[in-house]
A and B are shown apart, each in its own frame.
Chain A
Amino acid sequence: MRFEPGFIACYTLVLIGGAAGLHRLGKVDTSPWRSRALAGYRRAVPDPPDPGPPAWPHTESGRLHTLMALVVAVAAVTLPLAELLRYHRPVEVAVLGTVALAAAAMVLRLTTALRR
């Protein structure tokens, strides 16, 4: 395993993790009633009103995160594949192929999430 494909494999793993992180960040509930900025208020008011279902633009903010995560995931597929063209000793093919597959799985997951 040479340095460059090794690096790209690691970087791809970082990207997959980053994509998962971004997707999650987009799902963080930022309802004003749960916001940290209003924690003091919440303590003073025992029963805050029902925040209701997530409303626009929060749904879009979630979409932006998921879409950015998708871009990251597609990048994570592209990089090891591009690297495979340059480096194809058996170990390299195995490692790069595996991370590319993992990234592809992430792409699939995010596309499904985005369609919903």
Chain B
Amino acid sequence: MTSSTTTPGRRERLIGRGWIQAAALITIFGFFVLVLMGFRTYMDSPPIPERTISQSGQTVYTGDDVMAGQDVFLKNGLMQYGSIFGHGAYLGPDFTADYLHRSAEMVNRAYGGADSGAATRRTIDDHRTNTYDEDTGTLTVSDAQAAAFTELTEHYADFFASPEGKTGLRPGAITDPTEIRQLTSYFAWSAWVATAERPGENYSYTNNWPPEPLVGNTPTADTIVWSVISLVALLGGTGALFAAFGRWNWLGWHGRDQQELRFRDPQTVGLTPSQRATAWFFFAMTALFLVQTFVGAASEHYRADLNSFFGIPLDKWLPYNVMRTWHVQLALLWISTSFLAAGIFLVPMITRRREPKGQALLAYLLLGALVIVVVGSLVGELAGMRGAFGDLWSVFGMQGFEYLDLGKLWQVLLTVGMVFWVVILWRGMRGRLAGESHANLPWLFFFAALALPVVYATGLLTDNDDVFTVTDFWRFMVVHLWVEDFLELFTTVMVAYIFVLLGVVREKIALRVVFLDIVLYSAGGVIGTAHHWYFNGSPASVMALGAFFSAFEVIPLTFLTVEAWTFIRLGARQESKSPTPFPHRWAVLFLVAVGFWNFLGAGIFGFLINLPIVSYYEMGTGLTANHGHAAMMGVYGMLAVGFAIFALRYLVPKDKWSDKAASISFWSLNIGLAWMVFVTLLPIGILQLHRAVDVGYYDARSLAYVSSDTNTVLEWLRLPGDVVFIAGGVGPLLWLAFLGIRHRGRHALTKAPLQTGPTAGTAGALVPEPAGESEMTLFTEIIEPPETTHRGS
């Protein structure tokens, strides 16, 4: 298809200007509001009083104590044990709610006990009246509150120094009395933030979170109103989208497709050195996946049985917080490894030319760097939690923010590694990009890749010396903006491009789907980040924006899922025409699973906990774990495995490849995940939510409740599913990846000499080839019948 071009030397834009404008507008608007919310977060985050004194004039704790306490909290990995402001892990207590409840009970007792109405009123007054004096930086608390602080310091000393363990932490985890006092100060400050009314408002800095009747913490009017509005937004938005789809031919589908496809036998597709290098990436990925499931099983064991690990004192060396840190970090790491490899693998197919010299070397360097970061950061986390590294704990050891646990050095290195990856892609694609419109797939692929390090880099702004509310703002750039916006985009671009390269989807249709995706995901996803900031000390306006916009995130998840199969179907129809069989049955099935879990895990289970009023009681409980697992493994885990299966199909010779292994892995991963979700995570989550509403949030998060008989039974019941997942799901995958490194696509080098000169085209124009340069063999040979070739547009 030769065409007139607007920019000389560039291929013409394949998509209407309106799409680009819509995408740009929505993204810019989203980020404008996001920056605005960041500004408000910085301005309105709760103060840390320089000094907190009792009415009788004694200093209770200082601002320095609070900040030092935050450091103790982070470097000991307590955010991977319990939570603060509801953010963190779910085995240990939420320390905000824990301190608040205990302190409120003590104050109440000091005033005459639960039966006395006067005591109840005084307790509430003590907590809600904001006695912070901004000018002097002094907070004055009642003598009863000060006495509770002293008593609770002893309580936490006992708890963290406990020599027999049985808490999930290392026995004698924190013994230094100064550190204990600082830690208690941090908890005390967070409890103050959670109850003292914001100046000029009748609710606390945290919108009255956590629920605690003793201090009059109940849902605010905003919490309820914005929940209703959020629900209306979801229903209205869904209706509007369906109406719009009924009106216009969005995807520009023009009926019968007559092109003929001949899928090349993977055996005959010659690979470039960098593509062959990805075999090692996929092997590393599966190995990390395996380790991740093992440490996950260990974390799970702590939930099922806190007291012993089959008689082995596991908590001495690998306590719960180390296991969970590794579990969470490895999830991000193995999935990223697959994405990096998939990017490298696709580039030569996109350019259809030999790659520049040294690409493979760069790929190996990247992998080497990745291994160093993985090993370095994991060991650092273990050592850091044991007190290594002195003042440099946050650089080498456990930085401690859940999901950004790795030390700053490793965090920087990982970011640099991803930038390095973008450079590799750029080197490979430079020639092709020069001849393309910026709105066409090759550039979109590049932009989507570039966004990954850029968004990840914002996580570097988390700082243990900042107020928690502010650090949390940056943390969720990675936790939310990555997974709920930019990874979804990267996914769509990758999948769309793979289908285009396979010839089963027209480039124009793929482009429209990508742009539709940008519009739909960015409409909710960017501002929707605020659904994590309902109760962390951000102002009420942030909650309102989060509730409203995050509702729109759900629409593409439920909508595109059904449509995505249509999209695949377009390909399937043509597949049947090919005289050679479609080689990617299992890779595509993993994509079908991605669609399924996007719908169930992200869409349904995400929205289940998304309304502020639900989140108010639910945050940091089992339903979050339920959603987190179904969405993270279900969507990005399955996708990462799908990429691996796709590439391995070319890396492993035909006679060694086993569709059986791919099939066992596919069904086992899905069955194991579904079992985990429906037998354990969902019922435990519902029970815990019920408990939080019925008895109290504090109680629902206590170790006593979490390790109660009911929970224990449900936790053990997941075992069969976990075994299926690990043995049947990861096992065969490891075998295939091992075959990958053993053969590394060597077979095709000798059997299929590179074709020279332009052969059949992909759906789109041919790039002008420099004379004499040979063209890569594509995955698919596409033969265009002359009558359907459109000229120009």
Q: List residues of chain A with CB within 8 A of the CB of B593.
A: 64
Contact with A along B584-614 (1 / 0, CB 8 A): 0100110011011000000000000000000
Number of interface residues of B (CB under 8 A): 44
Check if B679 sits within 8 Å of A79, measured CB to CB. yes
Contact with A along B556-589 (1 / 0, CB 8 A): 0000001101101110110110000000010011
Q: List residues of chain A with CB within 8 A of the CB of B246.
A: 36, 39-40
How many contacts between A and B, using CB within 8 angstroms? 113
8 Å CB interface, A53-112 against B: 55-58, 60-61, 64-65, 67-68, 71-72, 75, 78-79, 82-83, 86
8 Å CB interface, B707-723 against A: 709-710, 713, 717
Contact with B along A5-34 (1 / 0, CB 8 A): 001100100010010000000001011100
Least Cβ distance of B10 to chain A in Å?
30
Check if B710 sits within 8 Å of A40, measured CB to CB. no
Q: List residues of chain A with CB within 8 A of the CB of B686.
A: 7, 11
The interface stretch among B13-21, B668-676, B782-790 is B668-676
Indicate whether B683 reaches chain A with its CB closer than 8 angstroms. yes
The winner among B595, B671, B674, B717 for most chain A CB atoms within 10 A is: B674
Q: List residues of chain B with CB within 8 A of the CB of A82.
A: 713, 717
Indicate whether A49 reaches chain B with its CB closer than 8 angstroms. yes
Q: List residues of chain A with CB within 8 A of the CB of B256.
A: 49
Indicate whether B248 reaches chain A with its CB closer than 8 angstroms. yes
Indicate whether B447 reaches chain A with its CB closer than 8 angstroms. no
Q: List residues of chain B with CB within 8 A of the CB of A68.
A: 596, 670, 674
Q: CA separation between A7 and B686, bound complex, in Å? A: 10
Q: CA separation between A58 and B593, bound complex, in Å? A: 12
Check if B570 sits within 8 Å of A78, measured CB to CB. no
Check if A61 sits within 8 Å of B565, measured CB to CB. yes
Closest residue on chain A to residue B694 by CB atoms: A3
Check if A37 sits within 8 Å of B250, measured CB to CB. yes
Q: List residues of chain B with CB within 8 A of the CB of A79.
A: 679, 683, 717
Contact A55-B253, Cβ < 8 Å, known A40-B247, A68-B670: no
Q: CA separation between A7 and B242, bound complex, in Å? A: 37
Contact A31-B589, Cβ < 8 Å, known A36-B246, A40-B247, A78-B679: no
Q: List residues of chain B with CB within 8 A of the CB of A57.
A: 565, 568-569, 572, 585, 588-589, 592
Q: List residues of chain A with CB within 8 A of the CB of B255.
A: 45, 49
Indicate whether B687 reaches chain A with its CB closer than 8 angstroms. yes
Number of interface residues of A (CB under 8 A): 39
Check if A55 sits within 8 Å of B569, measured CB to CB. yes
Q: CA separation between A37 and B251, bound complex, in Å? A: 7
Check if B572 sits within 8 Å of A41, measured CB to CB. no
Q: List residues of chain B with CB within 8 A of the CB of A65.
A: 596
Contact A41-B253, Cβ < 8 Å, known A55-B576, A79-B683: yes
Contact A39-B576, Cβ < 8 Å, known A55-B569, A68-B674: no
B residues apposed to A, CB below 8 Å:
242, 245-251, 253, 255-256, 562-563, 565-566, 568-570, 572-573, 575-576, 585, 588-589, 592-593, 595-596, 667, 670-671, 674-675, 678-679, 683, 686-687, 690, 709-710, 713, 717
A-B contact pairs, 29 of them (CB 8 A): A7-B683, A7-B686, A7-B690, A8-B683, A15-B678, A30-B566, A32-B566, A32-B570, A32-B573, A37-B245, A37-B250, A39-B245, A40-B247, A44-B249, A49-B255, A55-B573, A56-B572, A57-B585, A58-B569, A64-B596, A64-B670, A68-B674, A71-B675, A75-B675, A75-B678, A75-B679, A79-B683, A82-B717, A86-B713
